Chains A and B, each alone.
Chain A
Amino acid sequence: MEEQPHFRVPLSLLLFLSLFLLPTSFSSTHDLQILNAERRIDLTSHIIKVYLTLKVENLGTSPASEVHLAFSPAEAEHLAIVKAAATSGKRKKKTYIPLDVKSAELPDGPNGTKFFTVTLLTSLNKGETATLEVLYILTHSLEPFPVEITQSESQLVYFRDSAILLSPYHVKEQTTFIKTPSTRVESFTVVDPAKRAGTELKYGPYEDQPPYSYSPVLVHFENNNPFAVVEELEREIEISHWGNVQVTERYRLVHAGARHKGAFSRVEYQTRPDATGVSSFKHLLAKLPPKVHSVYYRDEIGNVSTSNLRTDYRKSELEFQPRYPLFGGWKSTFVIGYGLPLQDFLFESPDGRRYLNFTFGCPLTQTVVDKLILKVVLPEGSKDPTAVIPFQVDQHLEIKYSYLDVIGRTVVVLEKSNVVPEHNVPFQVYYTFNPIFMLAEPLMLSIAIFLFFVASVSYLHADLSIRK
């Protein structure tokens, strides 16, 4: 990692260090330029997806292998994921090769600007161009306005961004398209040329923008999609070598859209479902692995009877309703649990260790998870756990006592904030396990029963009476 320490050190030393640590960034910052930038911002749900296509050219003399992406502080705070891919070919023959993206720091960025570095597959020599496709996802970036709405109103939100791409490079030509969920757009900042057609707003094309140009825009539009946010999700994956993987997911769900104001009228909600409570939601969909069994859905006060499970050989879908429809600001907590066959998720690696291969992230579709705590409970007696995850997470170990545990089970805890459906990628937890430990619990039970019998026998044979 080329992260800079945050101490105050003399500038010269800093430069010197950067020379040392970041041998390539030195040259690339000013010598690259972006020939064409096209941004497509998808605002149809509360998870904002931005597709950025950059055509980069190297003007300098030295070869450049890294391209920097800049994000404003507001964006950086809500940034869930940044992915980049190199494209080659045209139209239908386009191929995507995923590229490595790392967070970085540049010395000359304006206050608070956060950078990400995309490492190219091959360095760009002088005059060469490369096309990059970048996808980044923002959460919590739609601000409801008005902040409180009644049951009959629909939800309006603000979206703030810049008409001009924030970039450390000179941008020759750029366009931004913003897609809104409906045609109802209350207002938008006009930065000429800008126009609106149907559900699409177009900013640009703008030409020859110097580095770090910024032109704030504000779009006020209607978005009635469910703003389902899981404030905290705790997933516990418990491995039993007797053939089962038990998953328990504890959700704390909130409707993060405009807060509900005034009365909730059941009559209106029941009789005119299209006109009232349009931004509320009552269904949620969880995509579970196939061959799921013993699914349950409950909360602190008992079972919730409104759920529906559809299974086929490729996936399982659990459609469920919280106890009540969620209006803006309303919360709900619940637990979903299910069992899975062990052989689909637990494998043996060539070196004799075992590993669990499971999906990271939240099984609910279209939801943001503010804080995800993933616990992998290994069987009692497992050793040396290591987790392999394609992105940065906080890790630590815990001990958990479950049925008939003596020394406790090792729990690998992974924590990540701001998780979006794009984080649903496989991860692995490796550990060593001696199958002898599988027999510990049955043996313990047998011994206990045996001892009980021995005690009964000895009691019956002993004469405890005082009188003879």
Chain B
Amino acid sequence: MAASSKPGSPRPPPSSSSSMAQDLFNNFSFSKTLKLKTKQQELLIRVTVLTLIYILAFITRLFSVLRYESMIHEFDPYFNYRTTLYLTKNGFAEFWNWFDSESWYPLGRIIGGTLYPGLMLTAAALYWVLRFLRFAVHIREVCVLTAPFFASNTTLVAYFFGKEIWDSGAGIVAAALIAICPGYISRSVAGSYDNEGVAIFALLLTFYLFVKAVNTGSLAWALASAFGYFYMVSAWGGYVFIINLVPLYVLVLLVTGRYSLRLYVAYNCMYVVGMLLAMQIRFVGFQHVQSGEHMAAMGVFFLLQVFFFLDWVRHLLSDAKLFEAFLRITVTGAVSVGAIALGVGTASGYISPWTGRFYSLLDPTYAKDHIPIIASVSEHQPTAWSSFMFDFHILLILFPAGLYFCFKRLSDATIFIVMYGLTSMYFAGVMVRLILVATPAVCLISAIAVSATVKNLTRLVRSQSQAVQSGSSKGASTAKSSSKGVIDNSQPFQRNGAILLLLGAFYLLTRYAIHCTWVTSEAYSSPSIVLAARGAHGNRVIFDDYREAYFWLRQNTPPDAKVMSWWDYGYQITAMGNRTVIVDNNTWNNTHIATVGRAMSSYEDEAYEIMRSLDVDYVLVVFGGVTGYSSDDINKFLWMVRIGGGVFPVIKEPDYLVNGEYRVDKGAAPKMLNCLMYKLSYYRFGELTTEYGKPPGFDRARGVEIGNKDIKLEYLEEAFTTQNWIVRIYKVKPPKNRW
């Protein structure tokens, strides 16, 4: 059996936490023994700290509710909210078979087969439980608070994970770090009702259970991790990360000679049961056996069988030479069979090739060249250094330190966390949104650094000040650091230095807490539906134009009206406006989106033909020229041109540029000045003075006077414009009478 730093020694039979809790209870119930033993004190402090962290993780995410209101944020959460609402109203069967005719008109969308239902089912289950307990809550409140609730649960998982890979001290620090880490908060504030909210919990839980299974070799833990994986698959497409990281981890263990029966049990059980369970999700279906992204897991599965077989043969064969020959034959045979199977599967089309999204993860420049629709999303951009700093702060420095500690004490568990940390860090660098996946690993590894450092330093401080008290830590580390302490004892100022370093660590952690709170309250708590700005007198000005427009659509247009807008607003229009949209954030049909992009970038008469063919009744554009709101449709327009031009070569990007420059003022390209998007955005804008001392028609978002002030619309008419002009809705006129 391969060497392992923590061999499969049986864990203390009753789980340690429960026995400690029992002790704790005894202390509470029998008030005679008010004096607690050190161990009990430690437990009391640990439980208290964990409870506080649990609460802290929840309430720090409530900034958005305090600053704004209890509402659903951004884009995708509106779809999730709408489907959850449908689920709670119509029950699971209806939800599962729902054909949504309100989106992707005239194609529609099969909701049950094209979504990860984990989030909706979780929220609905919470809602049903609360209803059963007679808490008359609204489903919206449940949805808003789902993400913070799961963030709290994540801190608990982080604690246990930290405890599993290092010690309980590292677990507590990890829980505390992840509770307030901005990288995670960005996706889990109250109202951010998105898949990631529960998926990070599921991800970490799966990893924790898997590591636990590898450490113990217990079938029960492996099964639990398979169920964790099932939950993850049902919640988020990011499960692909698990199904690739775990085999990679197994492979590394195999290569480094750490193969054990524990690993065999853990991986086989987790993979087989997890795969079968995952196939129950309609959106995933048979991908586990048919898609290229999942083939690594299957390959490792077979490899593991070969390994086991070889182990068995070696056990039977006493002759080392014979075994060597046998090994060579088997390995060659297995590898060639695997390669042939993969080759045949790929060639016959049984195994689908990697998807564009997967490619773009491996090659950051891929999306830019081939799939503009992925590249156009801001959260798919490569990460800037500043956002690493913003989201991780001191963890960025602690991360390498933690890696050092991990390498110093290599075990199956620390190898896992190192691999998780390194791979997710790479993905975080490729795409901004994947910082989220890296956050738990970064927190855990940093926690190891913090915990180990602080522990060593305090031991130094205490070893001098008084008689050495034996800590409750594990034998190995105690021995190591005490021996270090003996050496260090000879150095002068060592204690003062340790105190200074402790203060430094304390200062760093304080800065981290301050930074996290500040980031949460300032940057990550905006719902982006409601915009807030500072007025001239420092007062808070609210721009509620999105909801104004959506509510207008909801109340004052025919119930079957079709609204055309850029896909960003599709989910919001269906959820808040309750109207049919042509395209939405699902982006499953590139041609359809390109058609809308083409309509937006054509002249009005050409666009009218397209809109007639799509049965469009209203066109909605977002315009920030009056308020200076920069993420409006004019700024997104080049993507519409690109995506439209990708399918319809009539649309050529250079037509909209002047010397490669994108302009909207007098020097803009003539096609730009007369395309539908320009006309709809700036219709009658030339009559309005937006800023004192500037000519009328001054676009505050781009800081220029617009180039075409005399816009006449022939086929459309202004139906509604919100108070601050952020959303403008136009009605498509019926065709003229021919006579």
Partner-B contacts on A (CB < 8 A): 262-267, 270-271, 299-306, 323-324, 329-333, 401-406, 456-457, 460-461, 463, 465, 467
B25 contacts A457, CB within 8 Å?
yes
Please tell me which one of the listed residues B134, B544, B720, B721 contacts residue A401 in the complex, with CB atoms under 8 A apart. B134
Please name all residues of chain A whose beta carbon is closer than 8 Å to the beta carbon of B542 when the two chains form the complex. Answer: 305
When distances are taken between beta carbons in the complex, the residues of chain B under 8 Å from A306 are 544
Binding site for A on B (CB under 8 A): 13-14, 18, 21-22, 25, 69, 71, 134-136, 529-530, 542, 544, 547-548, 550-552, 554-556, 576, 684, 687-688, 717-723, 725, 731
- Contact: A324 with B134, CB < 8 Å? no
Q: Per a CB cutoff under 8 Å, which of A304, A332, A456 touches B544?
A: A304
- Give the residues in chain A near B22, CB-CB below 8 Å: 460-461
Q: Is the Cβ of A262 less than 8 Å from the Cβ of B551?
A: no
* B547 engages A302 (CB within 8 Å): yes
Q: Check B725 against A302 for contact (C-beta < 8 Å).
A: no
Closest chain B residue, CB of each to CB of A305: B542
Selected from A301, A302, A324, A465, the residue in CB contact (under 8 A) with B722 is A324
Q: How far is the CB of B86 from chain A (nearest CB, A)?
A: 15
Q: Give Cα A330 to B555, complex, Å.
A: 7
Residues on B with beta carbons closer than 8 Å to the beta carbon of A460: 18, 21-22, 25
A322 to chain B, nearest CB (A): 9
Given A303-B71, A403-B134, A460-B22, check contact A332 B555 (CB 8 Å).
yes
**Cα-based distance from A299 to B71 in the complex (angstroms):** 12
Q: Is the CB of A333 within 8 A of B71?
A: no
**Complex: chain A residue closest to B544, CB-CB:** A305
Q: Which residues of A contact B529 (CB under 8 A)?
A: 302
A302 pairs with B556, CB closer than 8 A: no
Q: Within the assembled complex, what's the spacing in Å between the Cα atoms of A405 and B731?
A: 49
The interface residues of chain A lying within 8 Å CB-to-CB of B547 are: 301-302, 323
Contact of B135 among A266, A267, A404, A465 (CB under 8 A): A404
Assembly CA distance A401 to B687 (angstroms): 55
Known A-B contacts A404-B135, A460-B18; the reply to A301 vs B551 at CB < 8 A is yes
CA distance A401 to B136 in the complex (A): 8
Question: Given contacts A323-B544, A330-B555, A405-B134, are A463 and B719 in contact (CB under 8 A)?
Answer: no
Q: A267-B688, A404-B135 are in contact. Are A463 and B544 (CB under 8 A)?
A: no
In the assembled complex, how far is the CB of residue B46 from the closest CB belonging to chain A, in whole angstroms?
16
- Listed by A's residue number, 15 A-B pairs whose Cβ atoms lie within 8 Å are A263-B731, A264-B718, A265-B718, A266-B718, A300-B554, A301-B554, A302-B71, A304-B544, A305-B544, A324-B548, A324-B552, A329-B556, A332-B551, A460-B18, A467-B13
A335 to B576, CA, bound (A): 16
Shortest Cβ gap from B19 to chain A (Å): 9
B717–A262 CB distance below 8 A: yes
A-B contacts counted at CB < 8 A amount to 85
B-chain residues with CB within 8 Å of residue A329 when the two chains form the complex: 556
Taking each of B551, B684, B718, B721, which has the highest tally of chain A beta carbons within 10 Å of its own beta carbon? B551
Q: Please indicate the chain B residues that have their CB under 8 angstroms from the CB of A456 in the complex.
A: 25
Give the CA-CA distance A468 to B556 in the complex, in Å: 72
Hey, which chain A residues are within 8 Å of B71, CB to CB? 302-303
- Give chain A residues whose Cβ lies under 8 Å from the Cβ of B544: 304-306, 323
Choose among A264, A304, A305, A403 the residue that contacts B720 (Cβ–Cβ < 8 A): A264
Alpha-carbon gap, A403 to B130, bound state (A): 10
- Contact between B725 and A266 (Cβ–Cβ < 8 Å)? yes
Which residue of the partner chain B has the closest CB to A333? B555
B556 and A465 contacting across the interface, CB-CB below 8 Å: no
Cα distance, A457 to B720, chains bound together (Å): 63
B56 to chain A, nearest CB (A): 22
Within the complex, what minimum Cβ distance (angstroms) separates A370 from chain B? 17
Q: How far, in angstroms, from A265 to B731 measured CA to CA in the complex?
A: 12
Q: A329 — nearest CB in chain B belongs to which residue?
A: B556
Query: In the assembled complex, which residues on chain B have CB atoms less than 8 Å from the CB atom of A266?
Result: 718, 720-723, 725
Residues of the B chain whose Cβ atoms lie less than 8 Å from the Cβ of A262: 717
CA distance A77 to B69 in the complex (A): 44
Min Cβ gap A117→B in Å is 43
CA distance A271 to B685 in the complex (A): 12
Q: Is the interface of B mostly helix, strand, loop or mixed?
A: mixed
Complex alpha-carbon distance, A265 and B688, angstroms: 12
Contact A301 B576 (CB under 8 A): yes
* Closest chain A residue to B25, Cβ basis: A460
Contacting pair B551 A267 (CB below 8 A): no
- Report A1 CB to chain B, min CB distance, Å: 41
Q: In the complex, how many angstroms separate the beta carbon of A304 from the nearest chain B beta carbon?
A: 7
Give the 7 A-B CB pairs with smallest separation, nearest first: A266-B721, A263-B717, A303-B69, A331-B555, A263-B718, A301-B576, A323-B548
Contact indicator B18/A403 (Cβ below 8 Å): no
Contacts of A303 in B (CB 8 A): 69, 71
Q: How far is the CA of A323 from the CA of B544 in the complex (A)?
A: 9
Bound CA–CA A404/B134 (angstroms) = 5
State the CA gap A300–B136 with chains docked (Å). 17
In contact, B719 and A264 (Cβ under 8 angstroms): yes
Q: Which B residues are in CB contact (< 8 Å) with A300?
A: 551, 554
* B556 lies within 8 A of A330 (CB): yes
Contact B136 A265 (CB under 8 A): no
A304–B720 Cα gap in the complex (Å)?
18
B-side contacts of A263, CB under 8 Å: 717-719, 731
Q: How far, in angstroms, from A265 to B134 measured CA to CA in the complex?
A: 49
Cβ-defined contact, B13 with A465, below 8 A: yes
Interface centre among B135, B554, B722 (most CB of A within 10 A): B554
Contacting residues, chain B, for A403 (C-beta < 8 A):
134-136
A331 x B13 contact (CB < 8 A): no
CB distance from B106 to the nearest CB of A (A): 26
A459 nearest CB neighbor, chain B only: B18
Chain B residues lying within 8 Å of A270, measured Cβ to Cβ, are 688
User: How near does chain B come to A154, taking the closest CB pair, in angstroms?
Assistant: 21
Cβ contact of B551, chosen from A265, A324, A402, A406, cutoff 8 A: A324
CA distance A456 to B554 in the complex (A): 50
CA distance A467 to B397 in the complex (A): 46
Known A266-B721, A323-B551; 15 more pairs at CB < 8 Å: A262-B717, A264-B718, A264-B721, A265-B718, A266-B720, A266-B725, A267-B688, A271-B687, A302-B547, A303-B71, A403-B134, A403-B136, A456-B25, A457-B25, A461-B22
Residues of B within 8 A of A304 (CB): 544
Chain A residue nearest to B137 (CB atoms) is: A403
What's the minimum C-beta distance from A408 to chain B, rounded to whole angstroms?
10
Asked whether B69 lies within 8 Å of A302 as measured between CB atoms, the reply is yes
Bound Cα distance from A168 to B606, whole angstroms = 69
A271: B residues at CB distance < 8 A: 687-688
Bound: A330/B556 CA distance, A:
6
**Residues of B close to A267: CB separation below 8 A:** 684, 687-688
| Residues of A with C-beta under 8 A to B717 | 262-263
How far apart are the CA atoms of A345 and B718 in the complex, in Å?
A: 49
Task: Please determine whether A301 and B550 come into contact, CB atoms closer than 8 angstroms.
Answer: yes
A456 to B25, CA, bound (A): 10
In the assembled complex, the CB of A150 is this many whole angstroms from the nearest CB of chain B, namely 11
Residues of chain A with a CB closer than 8 A to B576's CB: 301
Q: Which of B134, B529, B719 has the most CB of A within 10 A?
A: B134
Shortest distance from the beta carbon of B40 to any chain A beta carbon, whole Å: 14
CA of A332 to CA of B556 in the docked complex: distance in angstroms?
A: 8
Q: In the assembly, what is the distance between CA of A301 and CA of B550, in Å?
A: 9
A48 to B555, CA, bound (A): 28
Which residues of B are found within 8 Å of A331, using beta-carbon distances?
555-556
- Contact partners of B554 in chain A: CB under 8 A: 300-301
When the two chains form the complex, which single residue of A299, A301, A406 contacts B134, counting CB atoms closer than 8 Å? A406
| Pair A265/B684 contact, Cβ less than 8 Å | yes
Residue of B nearest to A302 (CB): B71
User: Considering the chains assembled together, what is the distance between the CA atoms of A333 and B551 in angstroms?
Assistant: 9
Closest to B730 in A: A263
CB of B433, distance to nearest CB on chain A (Å) = 25
CA distance A323 to B576 in the complex (A): 13
Q: Which of B21, B22, B717, B718 has the most CB of A within 10 A?
A: B718
Q: Which of A302, A402, A465, A467 contacts B136 (CB 8 A)?
A: A402
When chains A and B are docked, how far (Å) is the Cα of A262 from the Cα of B713?
13
